[in-house]
Chains A and B, each alone.
Chain A
Amino acid sequence: MKAAAFEHACPASVADAIALLAGEADARVLAGGQSLGPMLNLRLSHPRLLVQVNRLQELTGVAADADAVTIGACVTHAAIADGLTPDIGGGVLARVADGIAYRAIRNRGTIGGNLCHADPAADWATALTALDATMLLQGPDGARSLRACDFIQGAFRTALLPGEIMLAVRVPQLPADARWAYEKACRKPGDFAHAMAFVLLCGGRRRAVIGALGARPLLLEDDDVSLAGATHSLRALSGLDEVQRRMQLVVLSRALAKAQA
């Protein structure tokens, strides 16, 4: 199928982009187009205006300080996978980015687009929830920030308000004693996962996030980070059958074993 007709704007700044979005109720931000493109072609989405942002320097910068690494929303998965962005320790961001889709998609797909699209099986939603990243947003009414666990609200649902743009994500540096593991089960390399778990252990604290649940990622903390805790939480979720629960538990237990190894 071919997309329905739309207008296409390439603003010169984030301020212009926000003004364009404010002027057209039926507008969408376009970053790498790796999720929005197929949605347009399948006519699942038919906005009047596309505001393309992935060439804006304000959205492609990276910075690091003692506490965190800040990555522009329009930095591509490929740039992160190739180590062109600062690391938070242990090569974790590159590792996650490298496992997303295929090279062609990583070349264009962006970290911000991935988070704003909020596919329940997307890698960044799970990983950045575990890493407790913060999303920096800018809208007509100013700037605000949200933790990943508050930003992702459900399958394809975020806290992004109409007219808002994600500027960057801020990912805390990992302490030296941090141990982590990221596991996923896919039908083939590059496909969306059908089970995934990110485990982070540091300073006596434990975090585990289970993704690909058809809903927002499931965050388990401290004492709940165990197979028993996960079993309990997964049972409480609707829409999962026994096979899906079992796969998630296996992936979690493998991630736990790796992180503890």
Chain B
Amino acid sequence: MQGSASGEGIGRSVPRLEDDRYLRGKGEFIADIRLAGMRDLAFVRSPVAHARIRAIRKPPGAEAAVFVAQDLVGVQPIVAVSGLPGFKPSAQPVLATGKVRHVGEAIAVCVAPSRAEAEDFAAAVDVEFDELPPVVDMRAALTSEIRLHDHWDNNVFLETFVEVAPERFAQPAPIVVRRRLRTARQCMSPLEGRGVVATWDRRVEQLLVYSSTQMPHIVRTGLAGCLGLDQARIRVVAPDVGGGFGYKGILLPEEVCAAYLACRLGHPVRWIEDRREQLTGNANCREHDYDITLHAEADGTLIGIDAEAVVDAGAYSAYPFSACLEAAQVASILPGPYAMQAYRCRTFSAATNKPPILPYRGVARSGVCFALEVALDAVARHAGLEPHEVRLRNLVPAAAMPFENITNKLFDSGDYPECLRRVIAAIDLPGVRRRQAAATGPLRIGFGCSIFCEQAAHGTSVYAGWGIPMVPGFEQAVARMTPDGGLELRVGIQSHGQGLETTLAQVAHEVLGIPLASIRVVHGDTALTPYSTGTWGSRCMVMAGGAVGTACRELAERIARIGAHLLQAPQEAVRVGAGLVSGPGGGVPIAEVARTWYLRPQDLPSDVAGAGLEATAGYKPPRDSGTFSYAAHAAVVSVDTELGDVRILDYAICEDGGTLINPMIVDGQVIGGTAQGIGTALYEEMQYDAAGQPLGSTLADYILPGATEVPEPRILHMQTPSPLTLHGQKGIGEGGAIGPPAAIANAVNDALAPFGVEITELPITPRRILAALLAHSG
């Protein structure tokens, strides 16, 4: 294990540098920004799921404060394409034109001195609709005669199909289990919602957009396209961002509107999303439907997976990830961490009259892991095995690493079976089985586990295949010494809870030995940082971490050159580390090197270091197919079989994220993700009625897990370095959210097994459990 002597480098649980301002309430979030003359925006949103707009009447006397699509002169719709064959792009109007396609779609925008007054205008805008029958269910969407997009020949953004050795499915297998499984539509719920402040900066003749976003550079590129502006005329700043999880990995119609109005009106405008808009009108996630069949030998060895999956992609293809990412992901990751001989999977990205789907932490994986692991437990029951035993038979063994799986994913390193064994030992399975046998009343006990691997930081070679509007390439970082010996790191990603202001500094410290207190990480500003696709896909520690490491190495060479001169030693004889350039006869502090280069150049020969102390480096792993972190989750639950309540009694996780840059931050990521996974498993669900109306509009209806629902998981670590990355690190940002739905569903099903009942739909609510028990008992 690496780790610098000072205790601040790689592998150290350094307290987060950014927490000082966060915990003291001194951060600056989007709603904290106050600009002179700023006005608030409120949107008129569609109350119906599917309709033609017959007329929009602005409130008499307030016409100047209300803008409809025709008023946004020259503004282009948002279009997110995909290069996958057959993909049908949609044009998402910034304000609805002609038709509305989901409840909450923006129809008009109102400007007023306060949000309340803007809402007064919005309430007075009169919209006449010719209602159309809506497409609400994703399976029905596939065959419906109703069209969301009039010129399409069906309601499918994309259909994909892969098969490997399908002839194996024609032969009868000793064990065949088929399951129909569903996951709910969820609303990603960061503490801070979305928000935009836009203003025209006269001094630099630039549109300045503050947005609560995960990807300022991509927003800038997208905005420029919609507004017809040069990208150099736009600066996007992400201030402190109160959580993203994918919800803020998007170019928003609201952003385009606010940006347009700031240019046109000559005063700053802002839109701050409220919970109602977030829950009813804005992008949702995770809604999958599986028809999955596993074929296995009598001993539980998998022959193959034969599946069809539908993803409810909503009404539009959101920019930049598009409407197909989720379903196409399903096809490529459904085999999980297992080896098998045959595979067949057809997927559909269905268009429905709901908000566009976005990739949420664990993108597609929480659903995939749920489908596969629930079906595997059924195989285990057939084979008479414990759940972990059937998995041990099928996991890719350590000796096979690196391993190319059946969908050509390169598992880079690790010991999957050992990970599972450790979590099973931690949960004390024999003890659980004893307690389970002793429980005979209404309260039953169940055990469940899941194991998955998580592809992260995958780059050009993977995304070029999707052909979406952005393909990540080299990730860049700027490392710049200041004259007093401090270090500025400029990165194009955005840190919104991941602790990157700390971990990137730790990487720099590892290379240069400059104390963390003297390192500043600058991020989230297109004017100050190199271009980047932003923060998503668990990519930052690998990509931005690699870029920072590479830039610091480059800087170290330049420092060494100057330091060698100051030490009057040959360059080969000096080393940079621990904040010093050291040579055979002594050392000189890096701070002295910086001061000399910037302020006392007369002490240096003229040819020594023209490149200076500011280095930009690009980083890309030698193979950019991604790192594969992995984890096993084990849950013990109690199920009240009379009321349907589920309690988590114990929860253990064993995860391998390669080299951990900051183990404490990794634990935080795992715990936070696990809380969200528990939400997916037991609580979170936005239901829609047959008219396409969302059935919740506040957090009293949309239930998020809170302190009383999230147990403290016990986290065990393995650290198998990735052979592909600069410091052996792997992306681990999302894994926590992937494992819980499968582990908890399996535990509930284990508890319900004596009643002959199996839950196949998420979230597992008291109502679903009771309904299943009642249906079974007749």
List residues of chain A with CB under 8 Å of any chain B CB. 1-5, 38, 42-43, 185, 187-192, 194-195, 242-243, 246-247, 250-251
Contact status A189-B116, CB under 8 Å: no
Min distance, Cβ B643 to any Cβ of chain A, angstroms: 5
The smallest beta-carbon distance between B704 and chain A, in angstroms, is 9
Q: Could you jot down 10 A-B contacts, CB within 8 Å? A: A1-B119, A185-B643, A187-B703, A188-B703, A188-B709, A190-B708, A242-B774, A243-B774, A246-B642, A250-B642
Partner of B700, one of A185, A189, A191: A191
The residue on B at minimum CB distance from A38 is: B698
Residue pair B683, A247 in contact (C-beta under 8 Å): no
Q: Is there an interface contact between B276 and A246, defined as CB atoms closer than 8 Å?
A: no
The 10 closest A-B pairs by CB, nearest first: A2-B116, A250-B642, A243-B770, A189-B708, A2-B115, A185-B643, A243-B771, A243-B767, A187-B703, A250-B643
0 or 1 for each of B366-401: is its CB under 8 Å from A? (1 = yes): 000000000000000000000000000000000000
Q: Mark out the residues of chain B between 195 and 228 whose CB falls within 8 Å of any chain A CB in the assembled complex.
A: none
Contact B683 A187 (CB under 8 A): yes
Contact at A185–B709, with CB atoms within 8 Å? no
Question: Chain A residues with Cβ under 8 A from B774's Cβ?
Answer: 242-243, 246
- Collect the chain A residues with CB atoms within 8 Å of residue B119's CB: 1-2, 4, 43
User: How many inter-chain residue pairs (CB < 8 Å) link A and B?
Assistant: 55
Given that A43-B119, A246-B770 are contacting pairs, would A2 and B276 also be in contact in the complex, using a CB cutoff of 8 Å? Answer: no
Which chain A residues border B709 with CB–CB below 8 Å? 188
In Å, the complex CA distance between A60 and B722 comes to: 66
| Bound Cα distance A2, B774 (Å) | 44
In the complex, residue of chain B having the shortest beta-carbon distance to the beta carbon of A4: B120
B473, CB-defined interface residue at 8 Å: no
A195 neighbours in B (Cβ, 8 Å): 643
Q: Mark B115-159, 1 if CB is under 8 A from A, else 0.
A: 110011001000000000000000000000000000000000000
Partner of B276, one of A42, A188, A251: A42
Q: In the docked arrangement, what's the CA distance between A4 and B117, Å?
A: 8
B645 at the binding interface (Cβ < 8 Å)? yes
Cα–Cα, bound, A243→B642 (Å): 10
Pick the residue among A1, A3, A38, A185 that contacts B766 (CB under 8 A). A185
Question: Do B766 and A247 touch across chains, with their CB atoms under 8 A apart?
Answer: yes
Contacts of B276 in A (CB 8 A): 1, 42
Verify if B114 is at the interface (C-beta below 8 Å from A).
Answer: yes
Instruction: List A contacts of B706 (CB < 8 A).
Output: 188
In the complex, the answer to whether B643 meets A251 with C-beta atoms within 8 Å is yes
Question: What is the minimal beta-carbon distance from B124 to any residue of chain A, in angstroms?
Answer: 11
Chain A residues near B683 (CB-CB < 8 A) = 187-188
Contacts of A42 in B (CB 8 A): 276, 697-698
Return chain A residues, CB-CB under 8 Å to B116: 2-5
Give the Cβ gap from A105 to chain B, nearest Cβ, in Å: 11
The A-contacting residues of B in range 724-778, CB under 8 angstroms, are 765-767, 770-771, 774
Docked Cα-Cα span, A128 to B120, in Å, equals 40
B274 within 8 A of A: yes
Q: How far is the CB of A139 from chain B (nearest CB, A)?
A: 31
B672-709 contact mask (Cβ, 8 Å, vs A): 1 or 0: 00000000000100000000000001101001011011
Bound form: Cα–Cα A3–B120 in Å: 9
| Chain B residue contacts of A2, Cβ below 8 A | 114-116, 119
Alpha-carbon separation in the docked complex, A194 to B116 (Å): 34
**Interface residues contributed by chain B, number (CB under 8 Å):** 27
Chain A residue at smallest Cβ distance from B116: A2
- Contacting residues, chain B, for A1 (C-beta < 8 A): 119, 274, 276
Contact with A along B99-124 (1 / 0, CB 8 A): 00000000000000011100110010
Residues of A near B115 (CB, < 8 A) are 2
Chain A positions within 8 Å of B705 at CB level: 188
**What's the minimum C-beta distance from B689 to chain A, rounded to whole angstroms?**
16
Q: A42-B276, A243-B767, A246-B642 are in contact. List 7 more A-B contacts (CB 8 A).
A: A2-B115, A38-B698, A188-B706, A188-B709, A194-B766, A246-B770, A250-B643
Min CB distance, B377 to chain A, in Å?
25
Q: How far is the CA of A195 from the CA of B767 in the complex (A)?
A: 12
**Given the complex of chains A and B, what is the CA–CA distance between A228 and B770 in angstroms?**
20
A-side contacts of B123, CB under 8 Å: 4, 43
Closest to B773 in A: A246
Specify which of B123, B642, B771 lies most central, judged by the most chain A CB atoms within 10 Å of its CB.
Answer: B642
Q: Is A247 within 8 A of B643, CB to CB?
A: yes
Complex Cα distance, B701 from A42, in Å, reads: 14
Residues on B with C-beta less than 8 A from A190 are 708
CA distance A104 to B399 in the complex (A): 56
- Cα of A247 to Cα of B768 in the assembled complex, Å: 12
CB-CB under 8 A from B697, the residues of chain A are 42
Closest partner residue, chain A, to B122 (CB atom): A1
Chain B hits for A5, CB < 8 A: 116, 120
A247 to B767, CA, bound (A): 9
CB distance from A231 to the nearest CB of B (A): 14
Task: From B643, B703, B771, give the contact of A191 (CB < 8 A).
Answer: B703
Of residues 473 to 494 in B, which have CB atoms within 8 Å of A's CB atoms? none
The distance in angstroms between the C-alpha atoms of A52 and B115, with both chains bound, is 24
The reply to whether A188 and B708 contact each other, CB–CB distance below 8 Å, is: yes
Chain A residues with CB below 8 A from B708, complex form: 188-190
Residue of A nearest to B708 (CB): A189
User: Which of A5, A38, A191, A250: most chain B Cβ within 10 A?
Assistant: A250
Which of chain B's residues have a CB closer than 8 A to the CB of A43? 119, 123
Docked complex Cα distance between A42 and B770 (Å): 33
Chain B residues with CB under 8 Å of A194's CB are 766
- What residues on B are CB-neighbors of A3 within 8 Å? 116
Q: Could you tell me the distance between the alpha carbons of A195 and B683 in the complex, rounded to whole angstroms?
A: 17
Q: Closest approach, in angstroms, between the C-beta of A120 and any C-beta of chain B?
A: 14
Question: Using Cβ atoms and an 8 Å threshold, which residues of chain A touch B643?
Answer: 185, 195, 247, 250-251
Q: Which residues of chain B have C-beta atoms less than 8 A from A38's C-beta? A: 698
Nearest residue, chain A, Cβ from B442? A250
What is the distance, in angstroms, from B131's C-beta to the closest C-beta of chain A? Answer: 23
Q: For the complex, what is the distance from the CA of A1 to the CA of B683, rounded to whole Å?
A: 25
Q: Min CB distance, B444 to chain A, in Å?
A: 15
**Shortest distance in angstroms between A8's beta carbon and chain B's nearest beta carbon?**
14
Chain A residue nearest in CB terms to B118: A2
Residues of A close to B120: CB separation below 8 A: 4-5
| Cα–Cα distance between A260 and B729 once the two chains are bound (Å) | 61
Task: Give bound CA distance, A38 to B276, whole Å.
Answer: 11
A185 to B765, CA, bound (A): 12
Q: Which residues of B in the span 623-665 have a Cβ within 8 Å of any Cβ on A?
A: 642-645
User: In the assembly, what is the distance between CA of A114 and CA of B721, in Å?
Assistant: 58
The residue from B114, B698, B700, B770 contacting A247, defined by CB atoms under 8 A apart? B770
A192 with B770: CB separation less than 8 A: no
CA distance A187 to B120 in the complex (A): 35
Q: How far is the CA of A250 from the CA of B767 in the complex (A)?
A: 13
Instruction: Report the separation of the CA atoms of residues A190 and B705 in the bound assembly, to the nearest whole angstrom.
Output: 12
Q: Which residues of A contact B642 (CB under 8 A)?
A: 246, 250
Nearest CB on B from A238, distance (A): 19
> In the complex the two chains form, what is the Cα distance from A40 to B644 in whole Å?
35
- B214 to nearest A CB, angstroms? 26
Most buried by A among B698, B709, B770: B770
Q: Which of B274, B645, B698, B703 contacts A185 (CB 8 A)?
A: B645
* A3 to B115 CA separation, bound complex (whole angstroms): 10
Closest to B114 in A: A2
- Shortest Cβ distance from A210 into chain B, in angstroms? 15
A188 to B774, CA, bound (A): 23
A105 CA / B598 CA spacing, docked (Å): 59
B442 to chain A, nearest CB (A): 8
| Alpha-carbon distance A37/B469, docked complex (angstroms) | 44
Docked pose: A243 CA to B771 CA in angstroms: 6
